[in-house]
């Protein structure tokens, strides 16, 4: 009980003059400009792009081209009829606004899209840096803004989520997750802060379901704070009402009335509306309890009620979303997705990457726990830091892509450590203090941890790490440059069968429909790719004819192709690269000798 009581403590409010508040904004802006400039300078040497960034621009084009706000289907992905996407217009809208404004200024749509590729990641980075600066003020650590800004800029840069061209929703998710954590820290105006936290929690959930662990954690932190602190009911009530109100508002704004009864688990739907409304209103009602025992009973009843609601009304959302995935998709797609590797996978195949993924947040977690145990006056903030870091580390152990959130959560506790050590140093510090400060800086710079992992891999293994292979990959060799798609774009509009990795590029650079793409809702299209490439050419021809395929795009270095050939040496994929091409195909001459070779399917 003593440890949990720290959740409700109010941190000392720093006496900050108004100009000092602007100093935090200035620091966030400078950090954003530096990271963006570094990203631009290294853009020509960047590895292969993220398919999600490419498809996001396709969605924005469709929205600007007149596709309904409520219609999230990607009609040029998959089999006839398209694929219903699980993404959110809450990200499409601001990017589309940038494209529209820049196009109006320049008169060229290409310039508008280029501006969005630059400005969207920079804006989300600025939002993330503002959250870090606000965290310094809320906890009375205004003097730590400089180390927090430096550590934060480097850490967020190493995630890759804020690089120019990053249009996927991960950057805004990281920024909102930081705001969620900061708004739950002990500090001034707790009721308003908790209200905003409720809004942020639902908004980030509506953007993407991968943040569900952090949203659930936020609710748990608020509930425990209310249960252990008699002075906290107003803040908990504000959080609950904000969650319920925001859930309804976003549902009405983003879900078509015809889909209100749908209960999808991977996209914002009635499932999330009902559970968020019940949880938020239930928490607000629980705050009417006054005695310590009554508060604990109310919170326990609320938790049991929410679990029962999900189990009875939405049991399908409790199942493993990948449990029902076709085994063929697991073998030829999911197992090759780098970002979904678990701790066990990494330990078996790329163990030195664990240093870059886990070291910085693990150090921050240790610092937070030590602070909670040794500094009662800072226990409130330390418990919040430790909770978010523990969740971030757990998610990273499940799937390595969680490291982006864990790294972001590590910035404030490590920045505060550096700031406190610097402030405590005498005018003439001894060697021990200097070394201690240097060590604090070293464990706080995520780039150093990644460098350490790469160095260790070079010393103890002959092969480069997966991260090094990706960074060194040529975008053109792996079919990610626009020029390779010019011959394809010149062909009459049709249906293209190609590897999942190039599906988004086909959609972005041509007018064709792409059968395959790296998205779990495109099950039928991806299975057609697998079955056709593994089948003997004669059988594959019948499959393609039945689905209206008019072109085949073969990326010669794509991993899919090698996997198909190994699994079926007599299949269509092997025939495409063999000495004798099937007679019902003809190569597009302009692509012979290029990394992306095209074939027309003859009538």
Neighbouring C-beta atoms of residue 283, cutoff 10 Å: 27
Cα(239)–Cα(220) distance, integer angstroms: 11
**pLDDT per residue over 470-520, tens digit each?**
556 688 999 999 999 999 999 999 999 999 999 999 999 999 999 999 998
**pLDDT per residue over 437-479, tens digit each?**
999 999 999 999 999 998 888 777 665 555 555 556 688 999 9
pLDDT confidence of residue 16: 36
Cα(279)–Cα(519) distance, integer angstroms: 31
Q: At residue 18, does pLDDT exceed 60?
A: no
Residue from 221, 15, 138, 132 nearest 414 by CA: 132
Cβ-in-10-Å burial (0-12, 13-18, 19+) of 593 comes to: exposed
User: Which residue intervals of 510-571 are DSSP H helices?
Assistant: 523-534, 537-546, 559-567
Neighbouring C-beta atoms of residue 74, cutoff 10 Å: 26
**pLDDT per residue over 407-432, tens digit each?**
999 999 999 999 999 988 888 888 89
Tokens of 317: 């959302």
pLDDT confidence of residue 331: 87
- Residue 495's DSSP bridge partners are 513
Q: Does residue 5 contact residue 131 with C-beta atoms inside 8 Å?
A: no
Cα(106)–Cα(108) distance, integer angstroms: 5
Cα(269)–Cα(168) distance, integer angstroms: 20
**pLDDT per residue over 547-573, tens digit each?**
999 999 999 998 899 999 999 999 999
Q: Does residue 595 contact residue 557 with C-beta atoms inside 8 Å?
A: yes
pLDDT confidence of residue 564: 95
Q: At residue 14, does pLDDT exceed 90?
A: no
Backbone angle region of 35, left / alpha / beta, with phi > 0 → left and psi within -120 to 50 → alpha = alpha
Q: Within the chain, how many helices (H) and strands (E) appear? A: 25, 7
Backbone angle region of 324, left / alpha / beta, with phi > 0 → left and psi within -120 to 50 → alpha = alpha
pLDDT confidence of residue 13: 42
The bridge status of strand 513-514 relative to strand 551-555 is unpaired
The pLDDT-based confidence of 526 (bands split at 50, 70, 90) is very high
Start-to-end Cα distance in the chain: 75
Residues 6+ apart with CB under 8 A from 87: 56, 59, 72, 169, 208, 267
pLDDT confidence of residue 459: 77
Q: At residue 594, does pLDDT exceed 90?
A: yes
Q: Which residues of 223-241 are buried (b: 16+ CB within 10 A; e: fewer)?
A: bbbbbbbeebbebbbbbbb
pLDDT confidence of residue 350: 87
Q: Does residue 150 contact residue 399 with C-beta atoms inside 8 Å?
A: no
Q: Does residue 35 contact residue 156 with C-beta atoms inside 8 Å?
A: yes
Query: CA dihedral defined by 409, 193, 223, 360, rounded to 10 degrees?
Result: 10
Containing 395, the helix (H) or strand (E) segment is helix 379-398
Tokens of 177: 């997750």
Neighbouring C-beta atoms of residue 50, cutoff 10 Å: 21
Neighbouring C-beta atoms of residue 431, cutoff 10 Å: 7
- Per-domain residue ranges of the chain: 16-45+86-188, 349-473, 482-601
**pLDDT per residue over 311-356, tens digit each?**
999 999 988 776 678 889 888 887 778 888 899 999 998 899 999 9
pLDDT confidence of residue 429: 83
What percent of the residues of the chain are helix, what percent strand, and what percent coil, each to the nearest 5?
70, 5, 25
Cα(416)–Cα(139) distance, integer angstroms: 10
Dihedral sign from CA coordinates of 576, 581, 582, 583: positive
Q: Which segment of 69-83, 90-104, 298-312, 466-480 scores lowest on mean pLDDT?
A: 466-480
Percent of the chain with pLDDT over 70: 93
Q: SS in 3 state form for 431-461?
A: HHHHHHHHHHHHHHCHHHHHHHHHHHHHHHC
Tokens of 436: 């201690």
Give the chain's length. Answer: 603
Computed over every residue of the chain, the mean pLDDT equals 91
Q: Starting at the earlier edge strand, list the strands of the sheet with 551-555.
A: 513-514, 495-498, 551-555, 596-601, 585-587
Neighbouring C-beta atoms of residue 179, cutoff 10 Å: 24
Q: Does residue 501 contact residue 51 with C-beta atoms inside 8 Å?
A: yes
Containing 555, the helix (H) or strand (E) segment is strand 551-555
Neighbouring C-beta atoms of residue 298, cutoff 10 Å: 21
Q: At residue 2, does pLDDT exceed 80?
A: no
Phi, psi of 403 (to 5 degrees): -65, -25
pLDDT confidence of residue 7: 56
Cα(440)–Cα(434) distance, integer angstroms: 10
Q: At residue 47, does pLDDT exceed 80?
A: no
Residues 6+ apart with CB under 8 A from 45: none
Containing 35, the helix (H) or strand (E) segment is helix 18-41
Cβ-in-10-Å burial (0-12, 13-18, 19+) of 22 comes to: exposed
In the chain, the largest separation of any two C-alpha atoms, in whole Å, equals: 84
pLDDT confidence of residue 462: 60
Residue from 532, 487, 497 nearest 77 by CA: 497
Cα(418)–Cα(437) distance, integer angstroms: 7
Query: CA dihedral defined by 574, 575, 578, 583, rounded to 10 degrees?
Result: -170
Containing 277, the helix (H) or strand (E) segment is helix 270-286
Strand residues in 173-278 grouped as ranges (E): none
Quick one: average pLDDT of 35-51? 75
Q: At residue 287, does pLDDT exceed 80?
A: yes
The pLDDT-based confidence of 303 (bands split at 50, 70, 90) is very high
Q: At residue 9, does pLDDT exceed 70?
A: no
pLDDT confidence of residue 10: 45
Q: At residue 129, does pLDDT exceed 60?
A: yes
Cα(398)–Cα(392) distance, integer angstroms: 10
pLDDT confidence of residue 15: 38
Quick one: average pLDDT of 288-299? 92
């Amino acid at each position: 009980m003593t440890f949990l009581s720290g959740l409700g403590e109010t941190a000392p409010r720093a006496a900050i003059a108004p100009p000092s508040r602007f100093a935090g904004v200035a620091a966030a802006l400078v950090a954003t400009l530096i990271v963006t400039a570094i990203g631009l300078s290294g853009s020509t040497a960047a590895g292969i792009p993220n398919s999600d960034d490419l498809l996001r621009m396709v969605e924005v084009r469709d929205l600007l081209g007149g596709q309904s706000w409520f219609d999230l289907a990607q009609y040029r992905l998959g089999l006839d009829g398209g694929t219903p996407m699980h993404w959110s217009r809450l990200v499409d809208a601001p990017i589309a606004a940038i494209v529209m404004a820049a196009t109006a200024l320049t008169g060229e749509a290409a310039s508008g899209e280029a501006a969005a590729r630059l400005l969207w990641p920079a804006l989300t980075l600025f939002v993330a840096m503002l959250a870090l600066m606000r965290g310094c003020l809320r906890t009375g650590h205004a003097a730590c803004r400089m180390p927090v800004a430096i550590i934060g800029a480097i850490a967020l840069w190493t995630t890759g989520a804020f690089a120019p061209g990053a249009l996927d929703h991960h950057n805004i998710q990281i920024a909102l997750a930081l705001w969620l954590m900061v708004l739950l820290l002990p500090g001034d105006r707790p009721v308003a802060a908790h209200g905003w936290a409720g809004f942020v929690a639902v908004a980030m959930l509506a953007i993407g379901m991968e943040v569900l662990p952090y949203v659930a954690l936020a609710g748990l932190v608020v509930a425990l704070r209310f249960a252990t602190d008699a002075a906290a009911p107003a803040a908990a009530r504000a959080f609950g009402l904000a969650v319920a109100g925001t859930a309804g508002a976003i549902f009405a704004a983003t879900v078509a009335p015809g889909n209100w009864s749908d209960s999808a688990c991977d996209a914002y739907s009635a499932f999330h509306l009902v559970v968020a409304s019940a949880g938020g209103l239930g928490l607000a009602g629980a705050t009417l309890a006054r005695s310590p025992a009554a508060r604990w009973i109310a919170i326990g009843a609320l938790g049991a009620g929410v679990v029962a609601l999900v189990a009875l009304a939405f049991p399908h959302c409790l199942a493993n979303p990948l449990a029902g995935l076709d085994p063929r998709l697991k073998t030829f797609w999911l197992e090759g997705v780098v970002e979904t590797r678990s701790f066990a996978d990494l330990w078996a195949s790329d163990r030195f990457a664990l240093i870059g993924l886990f070291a910085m947040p693990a150090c921050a977690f240790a610092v937070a726990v030590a602070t909670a145990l040794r500094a009662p006056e800072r226990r409130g903030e330390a418990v919040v830091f430790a909770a978010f870091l523990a969740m971030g580390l757990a998610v990273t152990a499940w799937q390595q892509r969680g490291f982006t959130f864990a790294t972001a959560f590590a910035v404030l506790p490590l920045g505060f450590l550096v700031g406190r050590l610097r402030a405590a140093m005498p005018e003439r510090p001894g060697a021990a203090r200097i070394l201690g400060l240097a060590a604090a800086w070293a464990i706080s710079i995520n780039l150093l941890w990644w460098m350490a992992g790469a160095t260790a891999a070079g010393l103890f293994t002959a092969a480069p790490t997966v991260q090094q292979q990706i960074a060194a990959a040529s975008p053109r060799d792996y079919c990610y440059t626009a020029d390779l798609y010019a011959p394809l774009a010149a062909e009459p509009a049709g249906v293209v069968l190609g590897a999942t990795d190039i599906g988004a590029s086909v959609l972005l650079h041509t007018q064709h429909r792409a059968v395959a793409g790296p998205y779990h809702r495109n099950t039928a299209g991806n299975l057609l790719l697998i079955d056709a490439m593994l089948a003997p050419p004669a059988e594959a021809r019948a499959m393609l004819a039945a689905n209206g395929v008019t072109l085949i795009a073969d990326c010669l270095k794509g991993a899919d192709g090698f996997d198909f050939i190994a699994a079926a040496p007599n299949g269509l994929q092997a025939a495409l690269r063999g000495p004798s091409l099937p007679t019902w195909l003809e190569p597009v001459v302009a692509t012979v000798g290029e990394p992306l070779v095209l074939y027309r399917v003859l009538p």
